Structure 1
Amino acid sequence: MKVKKQMLSLKAYDPGKSIDNVKKELGLTRIVNLASNENPFGCSEKVAEALQSISNYAHYPDSRAEELREKVATHLNVTENQLLFSSGLDEMIQMISRSLLSPETNVVMASFTFPQFRHHAVIENAEIRDVPLKEGRHDLEGMQKAVDSQTSLVWICNPNNPTGTYVNETELRTFLKEVPNDTIVVLDEAYYEYVTAEDYPDAMKLIKEYDNLLVLRTFSKGYGLAAFRIGYAIGHEKLMKNLDIGRLPFNTSKFAQMAAQAALEDERFVNESVTRNREGLEQLYTFCNEYNVPYYPSQGNFIYIEPEQDQEQIFQYLIQRGYIVRPIKDGIRITVGNKEDNEELINLLKEFLADRSSNIKLTS
């Protein structure tokens, strides 16, 4: 089998255990998934109402998503030709990597960030220059030093997944001024709606100043439409035209387009989700501070903690009691749930930490 050599070093994406699989495996009736950064409050009621108007399933969807394109352009105050839609941001990352990377180029990214950046760089056989985070945050100064004439692409996940930290406007502007004009800087703002920091960059203003800046956003998180898989990019018209060549025909479904349009009209739902998310983060911060569990203050809908105890033991303890979290590297990423689920998770963590001698019996 003549597979690309670089493919042999990779593994297919592992989404973690599904709710149904955990129920079946452990004999549980209730599972709370706090591993995937989904919106625990669902989505706008307007979405279900909008989907009822779809009756003909035999026709292809609008390949350019014209109606959604118009609404998003108005919402962001950009031109329609500055937008490109995709089946979630995962497909957008694939399109960007496929279009910009080759064995002759290199890509600069943080060493601890969204893994799909690296995954697709490997597939395209590009050189990867990863720069360690500095106190959980992107080291833009270090990343700027890693950029050279062969750098095609720079990834900045803002807020960063999995740490939840962010790059502020001053830092980003300084970085953009130093990067060559022919190097594309991608600002992945998947968690944009959750951000409350006052010095967070105004990306829509920045793309008017920098032709090499590309901004990614999604309807999966704040809008609660992860099941529909729809995201988009905003950038210079010429760049978007080139990226569009690598897009699969009819890559976003009619259902996804309709759902996104309806969700976009309900800012009240998004604002409520953000408020409740911030309250949930405060619950988790209080626990971490009380029990001296290291964590990073988050601008997303999740928190990354680095407990002294073995992360796999904590994962197993929680999953056996119906709570799924995400072990990553030396810590655990926990999606913020609703108030009740947050409280129960915290109580379970307290129970686990109460037995410092690790005498808890675990099953595989």
Structure 2
Amino acid sequence: MQAEAPAQGEVRPRKVLDRLKPYSPGKPIWEVQRELGLERVVKLASNENPLGPSPGALEAIQAALPDIHRYPDTQSVLLKEALAQELQLRTEQLVVTNGGDELITLLSETFLEPGDEIVAPSPTFSEYEFGAHLMDARVVSVPLAEGFRYEAASLLAAVNERTKLVWLCSPNNPTGTYMPRQELERLLAGLPQGVLLVYDAAYCHYTAAEDYTDGLEFVRAGRPVIVLQTFSKAYGLAGIRVGFGAAPEAIIRRIMQVKEPFNVNALAQTAAAAALSDKEHVLRSRALNAQGRERLYAGLDQLGLAYTRSMSNFVLVELGARAHELFRALMAKGVIVRYGDIWGLPRHIRVSIGTEEENIFFLECLEQVLQESR
């Protein structure tokens, strides 16, 4: 595609911007209400925690408010100490970031140069590709196997002397599938020296499979892997943006060279530390999610729709050739989901697990739009 000529007086941007596709988030509730004149809108598009934030996190934020005239701790020391104790790691093995998205960008800035390559499955979270393009690196996409399964062999086959990073989201967004521990071991064993595995475990708290691993065992063993986790999902803190990476100390030191100071605000740091100790909230979130998944499976079975069984807090649903039409019809009834075209899945939608009431509302509206479209 030919680059658009800059307007008179405009500074010419980097050429790589012609290839960048900004992340497209799900619409917020207020926007749909305003656009469509609806009172009741249910958002099942962004994989948020329907229980809301940890009560302990809210109390911590209230207590910290009088000090927001001070800059936050640039090293997030207290949060790193809490994480190190919880995860059986050293603080030197941790970096705290402004959500998981910042860590993705930091990894790209730390390790990628023009001409380098990343290997990533397809479909998966689009920000891995964005970070690579930002640094003028090449993306090598590896299609998932049938049923959106991971295969270590196919990822390894795409690795060459130009590969710097291999991205792996497990459970995977948007499919909800995961890489079993034994397969992950094969992948790590097969990677050549100088290649870093980025293991995005943002949804690890929702898994129930016995052969799943959150990847931290490999960090403790000093393997060439960095594990990404976030407080935006099970902990319910998506609105204040805090995540972290865990890796061998040498990798963390390099990332810290490009990290901006004061990247995580003070309220996010204190809230995350409080949420980390709120085990009851995480258990309630897991239980609600597991029940909601089964409720969606049962409802989708009754409607005769195909879906992918998920180890996460969302379900990928196949609606066929009319998927975009049905996606729009659901929004018109007040249900926001994600249309799969952004992942190259134009026949699918991704539905976040909500409360019992929200799940039932979604299934009722889905049945109505299916009937109305016949």
Q: 1:105 deviation in Å?
A: 1.2
SS of alignment partner, residue 53 of structure 1: helix
Q: Partner of 1:73 in structure 2?
A: 84
Matched, 1:18 2:28: yes
Q: 1:313 deviation in Å?
A: 1.2
**Of residues 264, 280, 287 in structure 2, which corresponds to 1:268?**
280
Matched, 1:280 2:297: no
| Letter in structure 1 aligned against 2:43 | N
Q: Partner of 2:302 in structure 1?
A: 290
Q: Partner of 1:341 in structure 2?
A: 358
CA distance in 1, matches of 2:214, 2:117: 27
Q: Which moved more, 1:346-355 or 1:319-328?
A: 346-355
Q: 1:177 deviation in Å?
A: 0.4
Q: Partner of 2:251 in structure 1?
A: 239
CA distance in 2, matches of 1:87, 1:187: 18
Q: 1:309 deviation in Å?
A: 4.6
Q: Deviations over 1:269-302 (max 9, x none)?
A: 1011101101000011112222231111111110
Q: Partner of 1:62 in structure 2?
A: 73
**Of residues 79, 82, 92 in structure 1, which corresponds to 2:103?**
92
SS of alignment partner, residue 96 of structure 2: strand
CA distance in 1, matches of 2:356, 2:90: 40
CA separation of 1:9/1:204 partners in 2, compared to 1, >3 Å: closer, same or farther?
A: closer
Matched, 1:179 2:191: yes
Verify the 8 A CA contact 1:214 1:236 in the aligned structure 2.
Answer: yes
Q: Partner of 2:4 in structure 1?
A: none
Q: Partner of 1:251 in structure 2?
A: 263
Matched, 1:38 2:48: yes
| Letter in structure 2 aligned against 1:116 | E
Q: Deviations over 1:16-45 (max 9, x none)?
A: 322111111111112111001110110111
CA distance in 2, matches of 1:25, 1:354: 24
| Letter in structure 1 aligned against 2:33 | K
Q: Partner of 1:111 in structure 2?
A: 122
SS of alignment partner, residue 207 of structure 1: helix
Q: Which moved more, 1:84-93 or 1:99-108?
A: 99-108
CA distance in 2, matches of 1:174, 1:41: 37
CA distance in 2, matches of 1:307, 1:28: 25
| Letter in structure 2 aligned against 1:256 | A
CA distance in 2, matches of 1:6, 1:273: 41
SS of alignment partner, residue 129 of structure 1: strand
Q: 1:100 deviation in Å?
A: 0.8
> Superposed, which structure 2 residues align to 1:149-160 within 5 Å?
149-160=161-172
Verify the 8 A CA contact 2:23 2:126 in the aligned structure 1.
Answer: no
Matched, 1:302 2:302: no
Q: Which moved more, 1:201-210 or 1:84-93?
A: 201-210
| Letter in structure 2 aligned against 1:127 | R
CA distance in 2, matches of 1:186, 1:309: 34
CA distance in 2, matches of 1:49, 1:234: 27
**Of residues 203, 213, 216 in structure 2, which corresponds to 1:201?**
213
| Letter in structure 1 aligned against 2:254 | N
Count of equivalent residues: 357
Q: Which moved more, 1:296-305 or 1:53-62?
A: 53-62
Q: Partner of 2:3 in structure 1?
A: none
**Of residues 125, 133, 143 in structure 1, which corresponds to 2:144?**
133
**Of residues 52, 55, 58 in structure 1, which corresponds to 2:62?**
52
Q: Which moved more, 1:158-167 or 1:141-150?
A: 141-150
SS of alignment partner, residue 91 of structure 1: helix
Q: 1:125 deviation in Å?
A: 1.0
Verify the 8 A CA contact 1:137 1:160 in the aligned structure 2.
Answer: no
Identity %: 37
Q: Which runs of 5+ in 1 are unaligned?
A: 358-364
Q: Deviations over 1:199-247 (max 9, x none)?
A: 0025221123343111000000000000110000000001100011111
| Letter in structure 1 aligned against 2:259 | R
| Letter in structure 1 aligned against 2:82 | K
Q: Partner of 1:360 in structure 2?
A: none
Root-mean-square deviation (CA, aligned residues, Å) is 1.2
Q: Which moved more, 1:40-49 or 1:226-235?
A: 40-49
Q: Deviations over 1:26-73 (max 9, x none)?
A: 111121110011101101111121112221222100001111110000
Verify the 8 A CA contact 1:69 1:80 in the aligned structure 2.
Answer: yes
**TM-score with structure 1 length normalisation?**
0.95
CA distance in 2, matches of 1:234, 1:56: 29
Q: 1:138 deviation in Å?
A: 2.5
Verify the 8 A CA contact 2:204 2:214 in the aligned structure 1.
Answer: no
Q: Partner of 1:163 in structure 2?
A: 175
| Letter in structure 2 aligned against 1:351 | Q
Verify the 8 A CA contact 2:118 2:132 in the aligned structure 1.
Answer: yes
SS of alignment partner, residue 258 of structure 2: coil
Verify the 8 A CA contact 2:292 2:359 in the aligned structure 1.
Answer: yes
CA distance in 1, matches of 2:101, 2:329: 31
Q: Which moved more, 1:104-113 or 1:74-83?
A: 104-113
Verify the 8 A CA contact 1:46 1:266 in the aligned structure 2.
Answer: yes
CA distance in 2, matches of 1:215, 1:125: 24
| Letter in structure 2 aligned against 1:44 | S
